[in-house]
A = this chain, B = another copy of it.
Amino acid sequence: MDTIERTIERIEPLDEEAMKKAKNRQDNLTKPIGSLGLLEDLSVKLAGITRNPMPRINSKAIITMAGDHGIVESGIGIYPQDVTAQMVYNFLSGGAAINVFARHVGAKVIVVDMGVKSDIRPAPESHQDFIVKKIGYGTKNMEKEPAMTRKQAIRSIKAGIEIFEEIYKRGCDVVGTGDMGIGNTSPSTAITAVFTGLPVSKVCGRGTGIDDEKLKRKIEAIENAIELHKPDPADPIDVLSKVGGFEIGGICGVVLSACANHVPVVVDGFISGVGALIASKLHPEVKNYLIIAHKSAEPGHSAVLNELGLSPLLNFNMRLGEGTGAALGISIVEASAKILTEMKTFEEAGVSKAKGE
């Protein structure tokens, strides 16, 4: 756990001084005080995270982590498991939703194989960043045995940390998280139920769009897994190992490393939210570094956001994952930073202030 502990130790509270300076600047920009609402608050938060009253966002990265899930054997979904690998190839050739959104907002996509069931062989012409950190060829079926060993859980978090440290070295001002893994709403639902104490039936959704019968099976399988392994909510690594996923551990690691490096984390939907939730259970300051991109259509996501005490930027009824919501969120975050740094103050623009100000 050395890497994980060292990373956690570096996570600091937000920089109050930078936030005060940013707030003061916001209040002198050529607009009525508070009239850009949430974007003003967001820019102040950015100042606190980056420890810079004039935060600049130049390099934007989205890390899309892929993994397979043994629980698929239990008949909880409608897509064949091969789709995880097929979608990774789709990411690498630039044809998936995350590629479109990332290009739109000017972010780089880094695709990571955290534990896809087959080996991914990128086409020689692929220009997409691709990293292999395979912790295993898919998790075990948690309905019957722990999804992974404790060692694997630790390795998955470490892998996430290593990946972000590398990206950070090359320059990264904001990072978005993303996931791909057929079946991964099941471990995410299990983790949500364990940390929130809510019944599985309350936090379980239809994932890619399953019918009532499959939903019943999914709830039952998740309940069986929790009943069988009794994950300990006071031990986040225990939860991740017993009912988690390799990409979820990877996302947790990315979040921890970003926090340690004072980089804002734009969290995608349900699966990313669960990865961030585990990170927040490892260090309470993590929450302050998170920007929730959107509210997923998956019911479990609301429970995750409640547990984190955070509100989403967007509410578009999306449920795709991949980092698609994070990409849109990154654009909003960037807009908020630009308002703070590029707008003129009343004095600079020669505009009169309100009476009494």
A217 to chain B: closest CB distance in Å?
Answer: 14
Nearest opposing residue in chain B for A85, CB measure: B351
Interface presence of A213 (CB below 8 A): no
Number of A residues whose C-beta is below 8 Å from B? 61
- CB-CB under 8 A from A95, the residues of chain B are 30, 343-344, 348-349
B-binding residues in A (CB < 8 A) = 29-39, 78-80, 82-83, 86-87, 89-90, 93, 95-97, 99-101, 103-104, 207-209, 297, 313-320, 324, 328, 331-332, 334-335, 338-339, 342-344, 348-356
A95-B344, A208-B35, A349-B93 known; A79+B354 contact, CB < 8 A: yes
Q: Are A30 and B343 in contact (CB under 8 A)?
A: no
18 contacts between A and B (CB under 8 A): A30-B96, A32-B207, A32-B208, A37-B317, A38-B317, A79-B354, A80-B352, A86-B351, A89-B349, A89-B350, A90-B344, A95-B343, A99-B342, A100-B338, A100-B339, A313-B316, A315-B315, A331-B331
Please measure, in the bound complex, the distance between the C-alpha atom of A35 and the C-alpha atom of B32, giving whole angstroms.
Answer: 38
- CB-CB under 8 A from A93, the residues of chain B are 344, 349
A73 to chain B: closest CB distance in Å?
Answer: 15
Give the residue of B37, B328, B343 whose beta carbon is less than 8 angstroms from that of A316. Answer: B37
Q: Are B36 and A355 in contact (CB under 8 A)?
A: no
Q: Are A37 and B352 in contact (CB under 8 A)?
A: no
Please measure, in the bound complex, the distance between the C-alpha atom of A353 and the C-alpha atom of B78, giving whole angstroms.
Answer: 9
* A29, A297, A352, most chain B CB atoms within 10 A: A352
* A38, A99, A335, most chain B CB atoms within 10 A: A335
Q: Are A351 and B90 in contact (CB under 8 A)?
A: yes
Q: Are A100 and B342 in contact (CB under 8 A)?
A: yes
- CB-CB under 8 A from A104, the residues of chain B are 331, 334-335, 338
